[in-house]
Every structure is written in C-alpha cells, then in structure tokens.
Structure 1
Amino acid sequence: MRLATIRSNGTTFAARVETDTTAVKIEGFANVGDLLKEDNWEQLAEQAAGDAVSFEKTDLEAVIPAPNKIVCVGLNYANHIKEMGRNLPTHPTLFVKYPDALTGPYDDVLVPEYANSELDWEGELVVVIGKRARRVKAADAQDYIAGYAVMNDYTMRDYQYRTLQWHQGKSFEKSAGFGPWLTTKDSFEFGGELATYLEGEKMQTTPTDDLVFGPEALIEYISHIYPLDAGDVIVTGTPGGVGHARDPKRYIGDGQTVTVSIDGLGEVANKTVFE
C-alpha cells in the first residue's frame, strides 16, 4: 500500500495511492503524518472508499510534512565511509533536521546565493515510524515501522564543515525533497538499487541492504536515547559517489535537477534554483 499527502485548493489531504496519477482520499486527515497517529491507521487507509482523484507529480507534498523528529544517520554505507577517508563506525552517527527542511518530492529547491558554492547531492532511504517506540530491541523493531520513502538530501558542504557539527549544512529551508509517498513495509523488500542522478547522469548507486546499520539496529539505538513517535522519520544515510569526495570535486549548479530513485519506493526529483 502507498500513502501520499496531496495538495488541493490551498490545503492538503492524506490519500491511498492507486496508480502513479490517481488516489483515494482518506477522509479526516490532512496528511499522512496525522493518519499515522491513529492506532488503526492501516485499517483506515485500506477501507477508504470513494471516487479516485487524479493528481500531478507537483501536487505531492512532503509525505509527512512536519514530523516531530527527523533523525539523520551519517556515514552508514561502507563505500561512502571509505570515500570520505573514515573508518567503519561502531555506533551510528546521528544528527537532526527540522521540518522546515522538508519540501515536496517534485518541488524546486531554492538555494540562497550565500549557500550555493558547494552544493552536493545525497540520496537516502527513509524509515517511517508507525507507533511509539521506546527502548525497543532490534528483534522487535519491525513492529514499529510503518514503511519507507525516499529523501533527496541537499547538502551545503561549506556550511557543513565550518564546525564539527554537521547540522548547519543539512537543514536549510525546503532543501530536502521527501516522498513521493510512504510505501508500507509489507510492500517493500530491501536489496533493490538506490541511485542518485544529476541531470540524468548516475552519481550514486548501492543496494539498499548494504547499510552498516539497518532499520532495526537504528530503531534500537535511537529509541534507547529518546522515544520515537508515530510519523517520526529516520533518514538512513547516503552511499558513495557524492560530489565533495570526487577529484576534482563536483557540485550542483543552477537549474540542475537531482533525482533519487529507490527500487520499490519510487523517485523524487528536484530542480535546483539559485536565488
């Protein structure tokens, strides 16, 4: 099952996606995040009835527009860790985004002049939490996963490396395309390709089951620090092939589109616009 947040007449609604251009509205919920707060969210989504409504790609909002928590994982694919000259970690490297960083899966990403000189791409798989998770064991973690989505994690490398803390280069306003929808865990299998493209040129590729710390390990680790609530998201990290690690370095230019595709989850594609 696929669930989306769709824009319509200045507002949004949660919907069950039927095809890539049609969906059934789930009455009473403005977005997928609100829906996930209900204990019986799966039943509500499955039983939603009514005429299918058509939508365009640009009608899609960030699938969960305002999670309570956006927990990001750095250095979580072995090939990326090695290209950045680091050793494999023994524990996950965590940092956070704020909801202001999220934007629709096909929205333009507007980049201010002062932050466009070292603009990099990072395609990532997102885990969406389906119910409150506190001190969960890895063996039980699947019970707490609602599903998965795709994130296009624009990164301002000059800001990122100003200090030892990465957050400032990772949370610019409306810089992370998120969606295109939530694919429930029963409809997704790990092992397919995650690929990132710049103007159609493949820059990153990895199988999704090549994470150093998989979803279960991440939920266990994070939920022993603070609880995760329904609708919270874990952004699991990016593979090798980022522009900053290339020789010579390569960055995103004005007007260039970054596309992130994950087998079984769909794609997000954001055009870069320098302000």
Structure 2
Amino acid sequence: MKFATAKLHSRTFVGLVMDEKVMDLHKAEKKLFELETIPETLIECVSEGEKFVRHVEQLVEWSKKKNSEESGSYIYPLSDVDLLAPIPEPRKNVICIGKNYRDHAIEMGSEADIPEHIMVFTKAPTSVIGHMEGIDAHEGVTEALDYEGELAVVIGKTGKNIPKAEALDYVFGYTIINDVTARDLQKRHKQFFIGKSLDATCPMGPFLVHKSMVEDAGDLRVETRVNGELRQSGSTKDMIFPIAEMIETLSKGMTLEAGDIIATGTPSGVGKGFHPPKFLRKGDQVDITIEPIGTLSNPVE
C-alpha cells in the first residue's frame, strides 16, 4: 500500500494511492460505512499500525463492490491533488545517519572518514516540505547548498532496546528524503544541526510505502538527478550500517516512537564531492528516485 498526505482545494486528507488515482480515506469510510474512525493525519494512522492497514484493505474491498459513480466522490486523479510531505509535521526532529556509504564518506574527506560507529544528527521538523514544493535557496545565508538523496524509514510502533533480529518488525514503511545541507554553515559551526535545519530544506515524499510493498529495503537503488543530470546512483545494499542495526543502536536507552523518521544516509555524488563543487542554485530541479516509492521532485527557489 502506498499512502499520501494530499490536498485538494482547501482540504487536506490521508490518501491511498492506486496507480494514477488517490482515495480520500476519510470520505471513503464515511460513504461506505457511515463512520469516521480513520485519524485525520497520516502520523496518527501510522501509530495505529496494522489495525489501520487492515481497515484500509476493507475499504478498498467495499469500494470495488460499489459502482463508479459512488467511488467518484472519494477517488480523484492523482494529478488533481497537491502532495504534501507524508508526515508534514513530525513530532520530533528527523533522525539522520551520516556517512553511511563508504564512497560518500571518502568523497567528503578520505578513508579516515569512514565511521566505525553509527554517526547520528537531526533535522528540525520546520525544515520539512513536500513533493514539488520549493527548496529555499537561502541566498544571503549560504553559498553552498547541497543535495543528498536518501531512503527514509518510518517507525510503526513504539519500542526501546530493540534487538536487531526484531528491528524490522518496528518499521511501518519507507519514503524518500532529500537531506539538503548548507555545507558552509556545517563547516563554520563545527556541527550539523544548523546547516541541516534551514527552513524548506527537507523535502519528503512523494509517498509513504508500507513495508509489505518493499521486498528488501536493503537492496534498493537510490538515484538523484539535478536538472536531468544523474549525480547519485547507489544501492542501499552498500550501506555500512543496515536498517536493523540503526534501529537497534538508536533504541539503546532511547525510545523510538511510531511516526519517528530515520534518514538512512546518502550515496556518493553529492555536490561537494565534485571538483569544482556543484552546489544548488535558484532555478535548479532535484529529482530523487527510489522504487517502489517513486520520484521526489523539488525546484530550488
């Protein structure tokens, strides 16, 4: 199942994406069952875990039994809606794993920069934007704005001290994040938070794909294009620390909650890794593709 937070006119809703259409789950439930039990936000739906997924499956089955005229009141062409970030307002900072691909660690310095232990930083919730929303160039604040295409994990149930063998049971699904970074601020302040947390520098989406649709999250291709030019092409199988290990490490003494988001690191090919660097400028277009999630696209404005 592929979920979205979508907006049609002034209405924001949780949607189920089916090919090139999206089902408004709130309206579908009211029309089919005369109920209103589905939460208003996708983060709340995620918190219900498999109960939510089973309920959506039931809605889909009942919808198939109705005629097309009835379904037209709650199923729209995907092209008619705006796609917000799947979780537009995270409850916490987005958790990010740094230098999790060997070649990226080297392009950022040398082999000495390959981490022995998981490197963790965060991005502020106010940095999050959706598919096709503009990345803020922040002219006057930074001259070295960079892109980082990443697979992101969305936690589906609360846990602490989670063993690696059980870690993937705590995953609800996956989305895409562009970990846009102001490299000069990152260097100036000797830490990551400011350079990673400028407003409108965490594109997320376009969809949140349930884990049942992803055969192996440890073997997905991550591709980033800037103005159509392929810059990053890597595979999650090359991550130094796999997803289960991330969850185990992060949950040691720290509670992970449903709706928490973990960006798993980026392959080589970021702007800073080129000579000379290829930083983002106003007018650029960044497209990040990870199947079966889709393509996250954002202009720089």
Work out whether the TM-score is over 0.5.
yes
Give a deviation string over 1:60-119, Cα, whole Å, max 9, x none. Answer: 000111222311111101110111124322211111112111101111112222234111
2:142 touches 2:184 (CA, 8 Å); kept in 1?
A: no
Residue 44 and residue 99 in structure 1: after superposition, are their counterparts in 2 closer, same or farther (change >3 A)? farther
Counterparts of 1:117-266 in structure 2 under 5 Å? 117-188=143-214, 189-190=216-217, 191-266=219-294
**Deviation beyond 6 Å, 4+ runs, structure 1:** none
Give a deviation string over 1:225-260, Cα, whole Å, max 9, x none. Answer: 411111110001111111112211121121000111
| Runs of 5+ consecutive residues of structure 1 not aligned to the other structure | none
TM-score by length of 1: 0.94
Tell me, in whole angstroms, the C-alpha distance in 1 between the residues paired with 2:114 and 2:170. 27
Mean Cα deviation higher: 38-47 or 187-196: 38-47
Count of aligned pairs:
272
Q: Which one has the bigger strand percentage?
A: 1
Tell me, in whole angstroms, the C-alpha distance in 2 between the residues paired with 1:55 and 1:17. 8
| Runs of 5+ consecutive residues of structure 2 not aligned to the other structure | 27-37, 64-70
1:31 touches 1:65 (CA, 8 Å); kept in 2?
A: no
For residue 102 of structure 1, what is the amino acid of its counterpart? V
% identity of equivalent residues: 33
Larger Rg: 2
For residue 77 of structure 2, what is the amino acid of its counterpart? S
Residue 58 and residue 112 in structure 1: after superposition, are their counterparts in 2 closer, same or farther (change >3 A)? farther
Residue 211 and residue 58 in structure 1: after superposition, are their counterparts in 2 closer, same or farther (change >3 A)? farther
- Residue 56 (str. 1) matches residue 82 (str. 2): no
Q: Which one has the bigger helix percentage?
A: 2
Tell me, in whole angstroms, the C-alpha distance in 1 between the residues paired with 2:84 and 2:10. 12
Tell me, in whole angstroms, the C-alpha distance in 2 between the residues paired with 1:57 and 1:148. 24
2:102 aligned to 66, 78, 82, which one?
A: 78
SS of the equivalent of 2:45 reads helix
Q: CA RMSD in A?
A: 1.6
2:8 touches 2:80 (CA, 8 Å); kept in 1?
A: no
